Amino acid sequence: MTPLIIITLVLLWQFVLLGYTFTLAGNAADEAARAGTAAPPGGARTAACQQAGLDKLPNAWSGEVTCETSGGYVRATVRLEVPVLFPGAIGFPFRVTGHAGAVEEVKD
């Protein structure tokens, strides 16, 4: 019975990590899009967007942040690897994706 309990706990923990990774990806994408709208247009906007997204991620979660601007709208996409059992260790071969967008701020 003990091995069954241990396997169940390991699987539950892995699902917790999966859910937390989805939460991190969504939050980082939101923050990146928000920071991108506040930055001046051009390359600085993309850099600010990407940096804000990466700043919101714990060191144990590796991923990438991409930002694009078109039509007065900033879109951020965050892709994260889901860790296997321990954050910072190996990751699954698939990635979790978070998307967010925000309307550019107009300054008078």
User: Domain with 72 in it: what CATH number?
Assistant: 3.30.1300
Q: What's the rounded Cα separation, in Å, for the pair 25 and 98?
A: 5
Please give the tally of structural domains in the chain. 1
The string of pLDDT tens digits covering residues 43-99 is 777 888 888 888 888 887 778 888 888 877 888 999 988 888 777 677 777 788 999
Question: Is 40 inside a domain boundary?
Answer: yes
What is the reported pTM? Answer: 0.80
Question: Is 108 inside a domain boundary?
Answer: no
Question: Is 70 inside a domain boundary?
Answer: yes
Question: Is 75 inside a domain boundary?
Answer: yes
Question: Is 32 inside a domain boundary?
Answer: yes
- Domain residues for the domain of 98 are 2-103
